[in-house]
Amino acid sequence: MWKGLAVVTNSESPIVVVLSESMEPAFQRGDLLLLSMFSNPVRVGDICVFKIDGKVIPIVHRVLEVHDNNTDGKQYLLTKGDNNPVDDRGLYNRGQMWVSDKEVVGRVSMYMPYIGMVTIILNDYPQLKVVLLAVMGIFVLITKEE
- Separation of alpha carbons 36 and 106, rounded Å: 5
pLDDT bin (cut points 50, 70, 90) of residue 40 is confident
Q: Check if the beta carbon of residue 80 is closer than 8 Å to that of residue 86.
A: yes
pTM: 0.80
Q: What's residue 7's pLDDT?
A: 67
Q: State percent of the chain over pLDDT 70.
A: 92
Question: What residues does each domain of the chain span?
Answer: 1-113, 117-145
Contacts of residue 30, Cβ cutoff 8 Å, sequence gap at least 6:
17, 18, 113, 114, 115, 116, 117, 120
**1-113: CATH homologous superfamily?**
Umud Fragment, subunit A (2.10.109.10)
pLDDT digits (tens, 9 = 90+) for 73-127: 889 999 999 999 999 999 999 999 999 989 999 999 999 999 999 889 988 888 9
pLDDT digits (tens, 9 = 90+) for 136-146: 999 888 887 76
**8 pLDDT above the threshold of 80:** no
- Separation of alpha carbons 21 and 28, rounded Å: 6
Residues belonging to the active site: 22, 61, 88
